[in-house]
Amino acid sequence: LYEIFNSVGPVGSIRVCRDGVSRRSLGYGYVNFHAVSDAERALDTLNYSSIKGRACRIMWSQRDPSLRKSGVGNIFVRNLDRNIDNKALYDTFSLFGNILSCKVACGPNGNSRGYGFVHYETEEAAKQAIERVNGMQIGDKTVEVTRFLKRDDREPAPLTYTNIYVKNVPPNFDEEMLKSMFGGYGTITSSAILEDAKGRKFSFINYETTESAQKAVEELNGKDLRTDEQKEEQKDDEEPGLLYVGRAQTKAERAREFKAKSAPVAGSQARQQGVNLYVKNLDEDITDASLKELFEAFGTITSSVAMKDEKDKCKGFGFVCFASPDEATKAVTEMHLKVVKGKPLYVGLAEKKEARQERLRQRYQPGAGMMGKGGKDGMGKGMGK
């Protein structure tokens, strides 16, 4: 990275931001030039150039996060031609004002998802872009340009679906039994019974109409398919394993739902009950119970959560909440950097995501507190990639 940007002008410092646990690059960094003119030249000549096979995006580093979070000047572009890349989107919208950032959303394989975002310096430029480009043909498609709204501010779209997901399927179920149970709610176009790594059966069923799928969900979700013998063998501390029937979700939707469910346990609820500690660099086999065992010698634990991925493996971090500050302090003193399963633990006070991101941004931004001169529009000479 230094070699690429130093070819434009003398570079003061470079920082590639990395994951705290794996140390893998997060895909962005900061470049600090000695001269504003060199930074401006890098922005003009290197923006959207290829670095190791990926087109990089370069913009002025914004020290004030409120500008990004406010949504002022930010627009959403829908129905993009799949051949439109970041540079083509920038060239189209730069006619209406100074762009702070511009990107086309892409999947893991690098292919366009068909939509993008453009963030202008002013609200006036964003309004002009919406008026001029909305309904215009770019490439082979007519685009829709609107003001960007955060997910919480959007009106929920009505659910229309035909594909449903079924879990807790009895071991003796086959395709014929499945179609017999679900076929009464409408025409089934396709169905499949699968097994996970633990041998548990689940199924996907696709109906011809949304009404059929919704009726099946309403009627069959929570249905008890256990025999009388299975009910008698059921232990008091075990979940009954009722049939789950719901709309089949995409991977992104499942991830958002999992995050929403996990956040209250690991965050606000735990903080209300005591002092919450953040523990990272955990082994993937750590569970809630084993995490609690590691810390219970230091005092009363009100909750312990090892954050899990979709495969039920620990994601490398978790939260432990103590009843009193003294117990939490003792745990940090004794457990920070202690080696558990071959890994030195990081143990510290848990903090809100926004506060942590701001602290890390201030810490890792090159030249913070060292630059006496202002950059473009008073933003400093640092540049974000």
pLDDT means per 10 residues, the chain with 385 residues, are 90 86 83 92 87 83 68 87 88 88 84 90 91 89 87 68 91 87 93 87 93 93 79 60 86 75 48 76 90 91 88 88 89 89 88 69 54 40 51
For 282-294, letters b (16+ CB in 10 Å) and e give beeebebebbbeb
Q: Is 293 helix (H, G, I), strand (E, B) or coil?
A: helix
Query: How much is the pLDDT for 268?
Result: 45
User: Tell me, what's the pLDDT at 261?
Assistant: 62
* pLDDT score of 72: 79
What's 364's DSSP letter? H
In three-state secondary structure terms, 161 is: coil
What's the distance, CA 300 to chain centroid? 33
Q: How far is CA 329 from CA 295, 303, 323, 349, 380, in A?
A: 12, 16, 11, 9, 39
Q: Could you tell me the pTM of the whole model?
A: 0.46
Which pLDDT does position 376 carry in this prediction?
A: 40
